Structure 1
Amino acid sequence: MTDLLISITGAISDAMYTYVLVFMLVGVGVYFTIRTKGVQFRYIKDMFAVLTENKHVGGSRSVSSFQALMVSTASRVGTGNIAGIATAIATGGPGAVFWMWLMALIGSASAFIESTLAQMFKIKGPNGEFRGGPAYYIEQALGKRWLGVLFSILLIICFAYGFNALQSFNMSSSLEYYIPGYSESQAPLALAIVLVVFTAFVIFGGAHRISFMTSIIVPIMAIAYIALSVWITATHIDAIPAVFSLIFESAFNFQSIFGGFAGSVVVIGIKRGLFSNEAGMGSAPNAAAAASVSHPCKQGLVQTLSVFIDTLVICSCTAMMVLVFFVGGTPGDLNGMPLVQQAINYSVGELGIHFITFSIFAFAFSSLIGNYFYAESNIRFIKDNKIVLFVFRITCLIAIFMGAQSSFDLAWNIADIVMGAMAFVNIISIVLLGKWALRALDDYTAQRKRHEDPVFVASSIPGLPPTQCWHETAEELAERDRALRTREEQV
């Protein structure tokens, strides 16, 4: 019965992604690239400049633009950036990497729109923290709370239970190399307990602790992983021309493109790129809304940068390491994690396998935290209640505990289907509401041309649906922020 369910849900997932969502996400990405006049290219300098800014307003529990970037990057960057890219290359061919790059460039425009909307329609909590995301802008701007609740439920099922259980399983399975008879031993149980304890420490600390932890884990793991990739590339520099030759020959090979389109190099590359960086999927806006910035477009640009970090940097690192092995080694029928392990072993020896194990733990744990952050924001949207939140946190820990000890083929398929439904709701929403993000971009551009530090006031956009924030001038915001900080210091 289980095998039948796995087969059915797998077929549904494949059909959703191959024949519906891929084309929707690509179409929306192209549309917003045109409408924003290539915002993801025009404002690259601003993406980095915003990261150095302090929190604009808010109490001690609000987060900076950089911290919000780390939370969203933590969720985007997971084990899929390692095993997923290797699978794309093994099944679709090296050309999948090219289409992955292209989709990052196009899809980043959708990431800008959805994250800017999340900032525009965010709300402020009692402790000065901000919350928002698709559920919030669906309710406030579209006036459809029921649809916002549906989106929240889909996201919670997908990220809090499906994806977090799978990340936990990936961490557990990575230890099989070191422990003979691992699955029959008590090691999975021990790891499950450790993961639950560490995750509980972070999630019960709230958004501030989550953003603090990811601000440490994400940069360290990214720098280490990039450093290894650069080292392998540098020590195999003579293979790089052949690597790029493989990529471009495969990317534009007629048979690879049109031979069985559902499994072609184009579709596999697009799927891997889109569902690695999550541009347009509706997940990252939950982190974008938490940032304290002076203008919604600033966080839109930061989330665009997160797409580039995920795909153009992290995924490319895996691709380079695997394709160097393709050029000089004998990959045979290897796929997924075994392919990555042997590729690293080929370049740097057994030490590389140990490093990959560390990377899996770092990538997966940061994803656990980032995924939880998204889910908590949506639980609070449905019912902002301490008891509800406490029970939800316990159920999240149970999912992580179970995930470390089980295989989740069925859960993976269900999570993919739920995420597809979530993406469908968000795509329709940002198409309907994109005009407000475009007007905010016009406001941002006008202030930049006047050499001003852009500050957004909702009344500057005629007809904008009511928002809970952005109604004060820069001076009023600064005064209120000083008063809030004074009260916190007194407490």
Structure 2
Amino acid sequence: MSWLKDIQQTITDALEPVDVFVNNYLDVYIWYVGFVFIIAGALLFLWKFKGIQFTTIKDQVKYINPMANIDKGKRDKNSMISSFQAFCVGMGARVGVGNITGVTSAIIMGGAGAIFWMWIFALLGAATSFVECTLGQIFKEKKSDGNFHGGPAYYIKKGLKNRKFALFIAFWIIVTYGVGFIANQAANSASAFTRMDALSGIDGITVILGLIFAAMTAFLIFGGVKKVAMASEIIVPIMVLIWLIIGFIAIIIGWEQIGWAVTQIFENAFNFKQIFAGFAGSCIMWGLKRGVFSNEAGIGSVPNVASSADVPHPIRQGLIQSIGVFVDTIIVCSVTAFMVLCCLPSEFMTNGINMTNGWDGVWMNGDRKSGWAMDTVQAAMSNAFGGDWILWVLALFMFVFAFSSLIAYYSMSEANLRFIKDDHKLVQWLRIVITCVVFFACIIPIDLVWDICDVFMAVMGICNIGALFMLYKYVKVAWDDWKKQKSEGIEEPVFDINNLDQQGLDFTNVTEWGAKQ
């Protein structure tokens, strides 16, 4: 099967100029604009909702309890999606390969200080996630499959009354998540297998893995959104817990380096000479890019799945998704980061990566080598657990993490396709296209996949935050209603627009919350 290897190399060579252009120009300049929008949005919502991500922690924790589905007696369990299932699908989108190779690439390219800025942006971005997911719930609508659908396209069309902008966003979400992000998950998962010595020498291994991953994808997504939600409800909590256990064990093994790791994170985070000398490659920018890729706060992805939940009040799902940002970045990403920083062997070097010298050779020049992130994670885990056997465990986690995200991204893509046209035949074609994307992602250059995702993500952030600036007052009305009912002793508030103080806003396009038909 050597001819398969030749074909793959030809594809890689042909796409190299595209990768250079995207990485050096598109990715850099679009993120300057994206940075301003995402940070401005996070600060605005932090102020307008008075630090809601911190003041409502008790309710957030309560609502992620699967036994707290107080509406379970009111919904059809065989057709409707619960708030916990929607939370799990949303966490499936957040907890993916970005929690492993994404975090590692942030350290490699931006330095250990990127982790500090990931934490800061997660703390701020939780407010943005609350706003966008609550807004998705307010403007959701039921489609022919019997499930609720919503997201940026829905609240732009119904809230801003701008159908053309909404259609663009719906199309862009399909391209971004149905193509770009799904390709990223598949490519990184395949990389975990192909970079192991036991498999790397097999001719056509990427093609074989592509066929296997494509078959698995088809099996899952042809089952429909309900099957997607049921799978995530089982997979996501288990995979997160096991990964955290493995990470904590590795950190304990490398405990002597914990102090050094903390010092590196904080010293590099405030190395302002380095930051202002090259902001595009700084720890701040890489902390934002990889933090947002991981927790997805503000880029309009999670509202697509949060809107599917059958809940009594939109605020409830907003709070649930807010804590999802904390779980993803503050907990899961941090464990990965400390595992890498504490366990990478001192003799491990990749074009300048040297633990003895504090990684200076990497973040100061910004050079890249294909597969750096995976090589680094593999080296750290092998060193911690004393052998290459752990690489099979890592590959399994990459596979499961990738497919949990893939499930969520498919759900988003289907919701937006149904927004454009609620046609079962088109949904079937979407499933075929996504299956093909998974296959081809396994054989194209992984760096190009990352760069394309970065560009798509920045455009989504700019468009979505722009819409939130104009629509967040609807969330403020819902928030005031939720607080009012709570102050009256109502344990679980119920949202009905006929009983709201609408504060001069137009609720005529809100169709699922007690609107008069």
Return the TM-score normalized by structure 1. Answer: 0.91
Residue 243 of structure 2, aligned match among 193, 209, 225: 225
2:382: which partner in 1?
A: 345
1:455: which partner in 2?
A: 494
2:494 partner SS: coil
- 1:114-145: per-residue Cα shift (whole Å, max 9, x none)? 00000000001345311100000001011011
1:321: which partner in 2?
A: 339
Percent identity of the aligned residues?
36
Query: 2: CA distance between counterparts of 1:256 and 1:342?
Result: 27
Residue identity in the other structure for 1:37: K
- Cα 1:18–1:389 change in 2 (3 A) is closer
2:457: which partner in 1?
A: 419
Contact 1:182–1:188 (CA<8 Å) still a contact in 2? no
CA shift at 1:81, angstroms?
Answer: 1.4
- Cα 1:186–1:265 change in 2 (3 A) is closer
1:365 matched to 2:403? The reply is yes
CA shift at 1:231, angstroms?
Answer: 1.4
Query: 2: CA distance between counterparts of 1:241 and 1:179?
Result: 33
2:414: which partner in 1?
A: 376
Query: 2: CA distance between counterparts of 1:411 and 1:226?
Result: 27
1:143 partner SS: coil
RMSD: 2.1
Q: Which moved more, 1:35-44 or 1:164-173?
A: 164-173
1:188: which partner in 2?
A: 206
Query: 2: CA distance between counterparts of 1:72 and 1:223?
Result: 16
Query: 1: CA distance between counterparts of 2:198 and 2:334?
Result: 33
Residue identity in the other structure for 1:79: V
Contact 1:436–1:464 (CA<8 Å) still a contact in 2? no
Query: 1: CA distance between counterparts of 2:28 and 2:444?
Result: 26
Query: 1: CA distance between counterparts of 2:196 and 2:24?
Result: 35
- Structure 2: give runs of 5+ residues left out of the alignment: 1-13, 354-371
Query: 1: CA distance between counterparts of 2:195 and 2:455?
Result: 31
Q: Which moved more, 1:352-361 or 1:128-137?
A: 352-361
Query: 1: CA distance between counterparts of 2:16 and 2:217?
Result: 32
Residue identity in the other structure for 2:459: A
1:469: which partner in 2?
A: 512
CA shift at 1:253, angstroms?
Answer: 2.4
- Cα 1:336–1:65 change in 2 (3 A) is same
Q: What number of residue pairs does the alignment pair up?
A: 472
Query: 2: CA distance between counterparts of 1:171 and 1:236?
Result: 26
- Cα 1:122–1:76 change in 2 (3 A) is same
Contact 2:254–2:343 (CA<8 Å) still a contact in 1? no
Residue 157 of structure 1, aligned match among 172, 175, 180: 175
Contact 1:29–1:106 (CA<8 Å) still a contact in 2? yes
2:234: which partner in 1?
A: 216
1:175 matched to 2:193? The reply is yes
CA shift at 1:301, angstroms?
Answer: 0.7
- Cα 1:46–1:253 change in 2 (3 A) is same
CA shift at 1:330, angstroms?
Answer: 3.7
2:298 partner SS: coil
Return the TM-score normalized by structure 2. Answer: 0.87
CA shift at 1:236, angstroms?
Answer: 3.4
Residue 28 of structure 1, aligned match among 22, 35, 41: 41
CA shift at 1:174, angstroms?
Answer: 1.7
Residue identity in the other structure for 1:471: G
1:77 matched to 2:95? The reply is yes
2:300 partner SS: coil
Query: 2: CA distance between counterparts of 1:429 and 1:343?
Result: 42
Residue identity in the other structure for 1:90: I
| 1:179-328 equivalent positions in 2, closer than 5 A | 182=200, 185-325=203-343
Query: 1: CA distance between counterparts of 2:225 and 2:92?
Result: 14
Contact 2:189–2:398 (CA<8 Å) still a contact in 1? yes
